[in-house]
Amino acid sequence: MDNVTEQKKIMLSGIKPTGDLTLGSYLGAIKNWAERAEQFDCYYFMADLHALTTRNKPADLRRRTLEQLAQYIACGLDPQKNTLFLQSDVHEHAELGWILNCYTMFGELSRMTQFKDKSSKNADNINGGLFTYPALMAADILLYQPDYVPVGEDQKQHVELTRDIAQRFNNLYGETFKVPEPWIPKVGARVMDLLDPLSKMSKSDEVGNGRICLMDDPADILRKFKRAVTDSDNGDGCVRYDPENKPGVANLMQIYSACTGRTYSEIEAEFVHSGYGVFKPAVGEAVVETLRPIREEANRIISDKAYIQGIYADGAKKASYIAGKTLRKVYKKIGLVEKPF
């Protein structure tokens, strides 16, 4: 009888440390990530090299990188079950990124919609990295020979390009890279902006009055919910799930449901004799209690520098071992002299 345990398939995801993680990020995606480790061998890295395509204050970039890593751990990404590391700690990313630049066509890069979008928003800083970073993203992925890459609608084009690059390289030099499949993640609550319930809650919102961040103070959370938009047309004041006519109320109900586990009909019954003046603070309190353990654990991790440094050092060690094997294979295939160390 064969006692060999079937090897888990590999999943990889990069997270750019810009903006602040929001309630929308948590309820819509991150909350579900912890269970992936039971099914996949998961690699998560903070994509700090990608963050360099826009100008950052160095201290802010360092702080955000470590704070967001701590927040992901606090949200349930167990370092014992997932490989967590910083992109810049694994030099193979930059090395393979340059090589894949040479196997990525100018026309392919010029068609990337994110380049067009970011160029229009950063007209004074349209740099080479902004144009070629899809090749670095391909390197990020292909180094670890993953089976799946979790991807949202805005990143599907990059995974498609990665597949094209991998197939082009394999056709030239023989099987080198596993061609990854896009993975459409399980979507949780779709949380909208509290002041504009027709727009998604965004971590890049400069003002932040319509979004809830994971590290927000409880008093700030309650204040934002008290100011949340409900009916835009002086409606009937009822707590009723009607996304088309009452998008603000529907958004608050979805948040309350995600935090408490109550169904929409149960929420309607709970607040049938109450107005928005009671409902909105109740949603705020539910969010405060949902985020409290995350915020407290993230603060504990951030304050323990030796602990968090140990996590990303161990993660980089494992990642470097896997990435190094792939890079050595690539060097040999394209004719570079084997490293003497």
200 assigned to active site: yes
Is residue 121 part of the annotated active site? The answer reads: no
Count the alpha carbons within 13 Å of 234 in the hemisphere toward its beta carbon.
Answer: 0
From 178, 203, 318, 329, the catalytic residue: 203
Backbone angles phi and psi of 41, in degrees to 5: -90, 105
Nearest alpha carbon to residue 295 among 306, 287, 284? 287
CA distance 180 to 66: 28
Residue found under tokens 């399980």: 186
CB contact set of 191 (below 8 Å; sequence gap of 6+): 22, 23, 24, 27, 28, 200, 201, 251, 254, 255, 258
What DSSP line would sit under 308-334, residue for residue?
HHHHHHHHHHHHHHHHHHHHHHHHHHH
Write the secondary structure of 65-127 as one string of H (helix), E (strand) and C (coil).
HHHHHHHHHHCCCCCCCEEEEEHHHCCHHHHHHHHHHCCCCHHHHHCCHHHHHHHHHCCCCCC
| Spatial separation of the C-alpha atoms in residues 184 and 54, rounded to whole Å | 28
Half-sphere exposure (CA, 13 Å, Cβ side) for 262? Answer: 19
* Candidate list 118, 178, 329, 333, residue with the active-site label: 118
Tokens of 119: 């160029």
118 catalytic, yes or no?
Answer: yes
Catalytic residue among 81, 178, 200, 329: 200
- Tokens for 6? 């079937």
How is 31-63 classified by DSSP, letter by letter? Answer: GGTTTHHHHEEEEEEE-TTGGGGS---HHHHHH
Active site positions, annotated: 118, 200, 203
